[in-house]
């Protein structure tokens, strides 16, 4: 019987970092991803340390970088002021510093982002059939990358964040007004986090009621949790948890049920475009903070539709 003859394929790879025989523009992808990730990292770090202009007086807008505001100086804070454990040697208090570790850890350990920054920032490997900068390879079996296996625990926190930010997106459409229907803006604290010297203590600190409205900022604040949901509920770890660990879906001992199959199918559907959800949600969460910040600083108007 004739056996298919073995053929030898030569990969278009040279030796040494960046060496390759590829003729396409393979470097565009890594450079573009690196620019996006580094821009977001620099901006979000700066915004997290600001501790000001993360909410807009006279509205229910709250930057997603600062939500949930456990301690803080805005009407959104569960506890007004800064926590007692905040020491003088620490950086100036910012509510974002208390919570940002969870979403940051979620993205840092995400399987898609790992691929993205291993290639574009770590450069190992920078692209298929392109020379690598290192000779040895430990993968994720040794420190520090073995720690990335905590991803599923960050996932649990991320699911909570989806609902918290969803709530923020909904109440961003409820605009506070006085009893006579005029906009309510008399706030105890300024958007900078400082006490408002012009605060009139004879006036109420709460709005009389709220009216439904829509603006560019409120739309972005609701788009943010929707994209975050698409990203979070398409997580590879979640796919494993809800059904991927089952060998079959026929029911019975060791087998998943129809409910497992439906859950696994839904997560698999979102998972197909996990990279797109990851990047879109990253851009929009940054955009939400930028818009809230610019409106709070008075640099742009609110673009209120109604």
CA 152 → CA 87, 111, 166, 234, 272, distances in Å? 32, 11, 21, 13, 19
Give least dist CB 74 to ligand FES, A. 29
Q: Which is nearer to ligand FES, 110 or 282 (CB)?
A: 110
Binding of ligand FES at residue 240 (CB under 6 A)? no
Helices 28-50/274-296 angle, 10° precision: 40
Give the dihedral sign, CA 59/283/104/94: negative
The footprint of ligand FES on residues 263-302 (CB under 6 A) is: 274
Q: Which is nearer to ligand FES, 82 or 237 (CB)?
A: 237
Q: Which is nearer to ligand FES, 100 or 155 (CB)?
A: 155
Neighbouring CB atoms inside 10 A of 172's CB total: 25
Q: Which is nearer to ligand FES, 125 or 244 (CB)?
A: 244
Which range, of 91-99, 136-144, 161-169, 234-242, touches ligand FES by CB under 6 A? 234-242
Q: 108 near 102, Cβ under 8 Å?
A: no
Binding of ligand FES at residue 237 (CB under 6 A)? yes
Which range, of 40-48, 81-89, 235-243, 255-263, touches ligand FES by CB under 6 A? 235-243
Which range, of 24-32, 163-171, 192-200, 229-237, touches ligand FES by CB under 6 A? 229-237
Distance CA 139, CA 210 (A): 54
- Where is 174: in which H helix or E strand? strand 174-177
Q: Which is nearer to ligand FES, 187 or 270 (CB)?
A: 270
Strand-strand pairing, 209-212 and 174-177 = antiparallel
Binding of ligand FES at residue 235 (CB under 6 A)? yes
Distance CA 55, CA 83 (A): 19
Q: Which is nearer to ligand FES, 153 or 167 (CB)?
A: 153
Q: What is the three-class DSSP state of 91?
A: coil
- Apex CA 52: angle with CA 51 and CA 55, to 5°? 115
Question: Under rule CB under 6 A, how many of the chain's residues touch ligand FES?
Answer: 9
Which range, of 205-213, 232-240, 242-250, 261-269, touches ligand FES by CB under 6 A? 232-240
User: Dihedral through CA 246, CA 151, CA 263, CA 245, nearest 10?
Assistant: 0
Site string for ligand FES, 140-179 (x = CB under 6 A): -----------x---x------------------------
Which two tokens mark 145?
A: 């990358």
Which range, of 75-83, 231-239, 242-250, 251-259, touches ligand FES by CB under 6 A? 231-239
Q: Which is nearer to ligand FES, 55 or 233 (CB)?
A: 233
Site string for ligand FES, 107-126 (x = CB under 6 A): ---xxx--------------
Distance CA 269, CA 233 (A): 10
Nearest to 111 by CA among 238, 226, 224, 247: 238
Phi, psi (degrees; rounded to nearest 5) at 173: -90, 0
Q: Which is nearer to ligand FES, 126 or 275 (CB)?
A: 275
Binding of ligand FES at residue 65 (CB under 6 A)? no
Chain residues that interact with ligand FES, rule: CB under 6 A: 110-112, 151, 155, 235-237, 274
């Amino acid at each position: 019987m004739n056996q298919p003859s073995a053929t030898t394929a030569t990969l278009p790879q040279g030796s040494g970092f960046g060496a390759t025989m590829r003729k396409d523009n393979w470097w565009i992808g890594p450079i573009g991803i690196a620019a996006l990730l580094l821009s977001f990292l620099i901006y979000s770090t700066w915004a997290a340390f600001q501790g000001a202009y993360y909410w807009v007086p006279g509205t229910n807008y709250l930057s997603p970088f600062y939500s949930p505001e456990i301690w803080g100086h805005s009407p959104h804070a569960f506890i007004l002021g800064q926590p007692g454990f905040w020491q003088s040697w620490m950086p100036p208090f910012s509510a974002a510093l208390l919570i940002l570790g969870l979403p940051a850890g979620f993205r840092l350990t995400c399987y898609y982002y790992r691929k993205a920054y291993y290639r574009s920032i770590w450069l190992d490997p920078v692209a298929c059939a392109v020379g690598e900068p290192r000779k040895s390879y430990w993968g994720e079996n040794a420190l520090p990358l073995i720690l990335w296996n905590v991803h599923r625990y960050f996932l649990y926190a991320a699911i909570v964040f989806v609902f918290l930010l969803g709530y923020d997106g909904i109440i961003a459409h409820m605009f506070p007004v006085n009893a006579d229907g005029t906009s309510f803006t008399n706030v105890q604290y300024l958007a900078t986090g400082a006490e408002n010297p012009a605060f009139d203590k004879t006036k109420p600190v709460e709005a009389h009621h709220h009216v439904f409205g829509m603006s560019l900022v409120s739309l972005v604040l609701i788009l943010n949790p929707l994209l975050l949901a698409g990203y979070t509920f398409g997580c590879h770890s979640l796919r494993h948890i809800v059904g991927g660990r089952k060998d079959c879906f026929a029911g019975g001992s060791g087998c998943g049920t129809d409910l497992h199959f439906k859950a696994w199918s839904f997560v698999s559907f979102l998972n197909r475009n996990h990279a797109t959800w990851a990047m879109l949600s990253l851009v929009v969460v940054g955009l939400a903070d930028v818009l809230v910040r610019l409106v709070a600083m008075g640099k742009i108007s609110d673009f209120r539709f109604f």
